[in-house]
């Protein structure tokens, strides 16, 4: 089992609120990723990081932002949530020199 | 054209059946290949890596054809617990470790 954690697991929130989705891993992995996945649809990469102070936008444009101040922590923030942000957000990590990505359990976000 | 394309599903099969999933990828620079399994409303989990020579793990066999840029997964003697979505995953070649996920093929094994 991979040691990668996400909180909260489920979040229902009103439009306009600021939210932060937490992701942490205890494997010392350098690379971390955020994906967005709608039900029955494929995963879309929205952010990734190759190490502390490194963040890049992914293939799918997203209004969210990320930070990487510590190796083990890669939070995702939405400054003003909208119903279009309703989705599942999955965090993953991988060690240097590897390709296999290990996923956290995901956060299922609903914006009313 | 998508970078990774899989058989459209769903596949509905009886217990004990053999089922094969196919996948093609477009980036000839890709070096790593995987099959992930994703249960309904859960995170993807690595099922197996795919090696050039082909590899087997119990009832699961993965094959890679680099010339045709084609990957397959064979499941023998399917079980009810095999019901899930199977994701074909390819690394992005020179894209620094990014993985490209196929849209997945859903498998439903019935008693």
User: Is the backbone of residue A54 left (phi > 0), alpha (psi -120 to 50) or beta?
Assistant: beta
| Facing A100 at nearest CB: one of B43, B49, B102 | B49
What digits encode the pLDDT tens for the residues B11-44?
999 999 999 999 999 988 888 999 999 999 899 9
E strand or H helix at A57, and its extent? strand A54-57
Question: Beta-carbon neighbour count of residue B70 at 10 Å?
Answer: 13
Judged by a CB distance cut-off of 8 A, whether residue A50 touches chain B is yes
pLDDT of residue B54: 85
Q: What is the mean pLDDT of chain A?
A: 93
pLDDT of residue A81: 95
Encode pLDDT of A81-95 as tens digits.
999 999 999 999 998
Query: Locate tokens 């217990």: which residue?
Result: B15
* pLDDT one-digit tens code per residue, B64-89: 999 999 999 999 999 999 999 999 99
Does a cis peptide bond (omega within 30 degrees of 0) precede residue A8? yes
End-to-end Cα spacing for chain A: 34
pLDDT at B2: 84
- What residues of chain A lie within 8 A of the CB of B49, using their CB? 100
pLDDT at B91 over 80: yes
Strands, E assignment, chain B:
4-6, 11-14, 19-25, 33-38, 44-50, 55-57, 60-65, 70-75, 84-91, 99-101, 105-110
Binned at pLDDT 50, 70 and 90, residue B94 comes out as low
Query: What is the nearest CA distance from A17 to chain B, expressed in angstroms?
Result: 25
Which residues from B are below 8 Å from A31, CB to CB?
97
Q: Cα angle at B78 between B73 and B81, to 5 degrees?
A: 105
With bands split at pLDDT 50, 70 and 90, how would you rate the model's confidence at A59? confident
Q: What per-residue confidence (pLDDT) applies to B95?
A: 61
Do the beta carbons of residue B87 and residue B73 sit within 8 Å?
no
State the pLDDT at residue A1: 59
Tell me which residue of A43, A42, A2 sits closest to A26, measured CA to CA: A2
Q: Is the peptide bond before B10 cis (omega within 30 degrees of 0)?
A: yes
Query: Measured between CB atoms, does A5 come within 8 Å of chain B?
Result: no
Q: Which of A82, A46, A76, A77 is nearest to A61 (CA)?
A: A46
Q: Which of A31, A48, A103 sits opposite B43 (nearest CB)?
A: A103
For the segment A41-48, the average pLDDT, to the nearest whole number, is 92
Residues of A in contact with B46 (CB under 8 A): 100-102
Q: Do B97 and A50 touch (CB under 8 A)?
A: yes
For B36-61, the pLDDT digits (tens) are 999 998 999 999 999 888 899 999 99
The shortest C-alpha distance from A76 to chain B (Å) reads 17
């Amino acid at each position: 089992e991979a040691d990668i954690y996400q909180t909260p697991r489920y979040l229902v929130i009103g439009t306009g609120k600021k939210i932060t989705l937490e992701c942490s891993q205890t494997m010392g992995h350098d690379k971390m990723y955020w994906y967005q996945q709608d039900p029955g649809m494929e995963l879309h990469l929205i952010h990734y990081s190759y190490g502390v102070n490194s963040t890049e936008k992914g293939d799918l444009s997203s209004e969210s932002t990320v930070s990487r101040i510590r190796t083990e922590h890669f939070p995702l923030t939405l400054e003003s949530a909208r119903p279009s942000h309703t989705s599942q957000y999955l965090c993953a990590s991988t060690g240097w020199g590897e390709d296999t990505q290990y996923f956290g359990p995901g956060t299922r976000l609903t914006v009313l | 054209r998508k970078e990774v394309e899989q058989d459209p599903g769903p596949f509905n099969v009886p217990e004990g059946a053999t089922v094969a999933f196919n996948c093609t990828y477009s980036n000839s620079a890709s070096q790593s290949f995987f099959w992930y399994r994703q249960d309904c409303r859960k995170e993807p989990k690595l099922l197996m890596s795919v090696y050039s020579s082909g590899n087997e793990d119990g009832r699961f066999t993965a094959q890679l054809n680099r010339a045709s840029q084609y990957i397959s997964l064979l499941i023998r003697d399917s079980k009810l617990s095999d019901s899930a979505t199977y994701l074909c995953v390819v690394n992005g070649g020179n894209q620094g470790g990014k993985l490209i996920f196929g849209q997945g093929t859903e498998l439903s094994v019935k008693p």
